[in-house]
Amino acid sequence: MDHSARITAFTGLVGPPPGPAPAVDWAAVEGRLGTPLPGDYKALVSAYGAAEIGGPGAAIRLHPPCVSTDGRFEYAAWIVETHRHSAIRPGMFTARRRSFLPEEGGLLAFATTRSGDHLFWNTGESDDPDEWPVTLMTTNVAVGVSEPWVDYELPFLELVFTLLRTGVPHPGEPGGLLGPLSPQIRIWPPPAGAAPWSPPPEGTAVDARQHAALTEGSGLDAVTALVPPPLEPYLGEGTWEQVFERLGTRLPPDFVSLAERYGAGNWSWWLDMSAPLSLDRPRETGARGHRRRHA
């Protein structure tokens, strides 16, 4: 199917690509995944790359096959981690279970929202990838209040157009709606300037550096390899000396080092780290919003 007219319509809404997109060997990607991918997605990614669609309030971020120059994003590792996390996390809210590729007919991750929710294709709904509807898994729903899974009866690019024009239902967003998104586009960090992705050899660790950190590493170096720290960690407006004076004691050096690298945030929804240098608001999670760390 020729998707050029629909990509032209998308460009008419958000503007031209903000920069060059890394080349993608789609045959290699699809061979590694064990399935063809939707043609409209391949056409959009080939033109726009790791696009963030939307504005400061809400956006979706495409996670295409690429490798960031700083090692913070690697396509295959992201797929594995997202599927693992999404198989575990919803169990805190619902008894409903979903399957994921490589299981036949499973969900396949391709994007996130700015607030950290995951977007998947439901590959079991059709033999034609262009007809795969999109499913969302939200992590913003209060425990026991709502169903974290939302099944949209829309394939990829139709969902994108709907997000831009009217928005779609989303139980974790204010007003229960994601969108309408601002018609803006940029390449989101860290994939900005990313290199092309090549499938790792069969039988090897998806990310050799992370595998080594998990099996052999220790200390902060191992932690940062497993959980890349934020580009701009938020610590608060005070100083460590002010904190020590208020506490009446100094803090362990390894805690200080960890806090300086990661700032405020939440580690896999079990360890909540307040901004360590926020002297007046001890529960502050930072001006840039709540951060999640998937350890």
At 173-225, the pLDDT tens digits run 888 899 999 999 999 988 888 999 988 777 665 566 777 877 888 899 888 87
Length of the chain: 295
Q: Looking at residue 156, what is its pLDDT?
A: 97
Report, as an integer, the average pLDDT of 226-236: 84
Q: Which three-class secondary structure state does DSSP give residue 138?
A: coil
pTM over 0.85: no
Report yes or no: 200 and 252 within 8 Å, Cβ to Cβ: no
Alpha-carbon gap, residue 295 to 293, rounded angstroms = 6
Secondary structure element (H or E) that encloses residue 231, with its range:
none
Alpha-carbon gap, residue 93 to 172, rounded angstroms = 13
Alpha-carbon gap, residue 176 to 33, rounded angstroms = 33
Alpha-carbon gap, residue 268 to 292, rounded angstroms = 6
Residue-by-residue DSSP string for 68-124: -TTSS-BHHHHHHHHHHHHHHGGGGT-S----BTTSTT-EEEEEEETTS-EEEEEGG
Least confident of 137-141, 159-163, 181-185: 137-141
Q: Residue 146: is it exposed, middle or buried by C-beta count within 10 angstroms (0-12/13-18/19+)?
A: middle
Q: Which three-class secondary structure state does DSSP give residue 141?
A: coil
Q: Is the pLDDT of residue 91 over 70?
A: no
Alpha-carbon gap, residue 106 to 133, rounded angstroms = 12
Q: Looking at residue 281, what is its pLDDT?
A: 56
Instruction: For the chain, give the mean pLDDT.
Output: 86
Choice between 70 and 248, residue whose per-residue pLDDT is larger: 248
User: pLDDT grade, residue 293 (50/70/90)?
Assistant: very low
Tens of pLDDT, residue by residue over 265-291, are 878 667 788 899 988 754 444 433 334
User: pLDDT grade, residue 24 (50/70/90)?
Assistant: very high
Q: Which three-class secondary structure state does DSSP give residue 252?
A: coil
Q: Residue 42: is it exposed, middle or buried by C-beta count within 10 angstroms (0-12/13-18/19+)?
A: buried
Q: Is the pLDDT of residue 122 over 80?
A: yes
Cα torsion 17, 18, 20, 21: sign:
negative
Q: Looking at residue 177, what is its pLDDT?
A: 92
Residue 220 phi, psi (nearest 5): -65, -35
Report, as an integer, the average pLDDT of 156-184: 93
Q: Looking at residue 189, what is its pLDDT?
A: 85
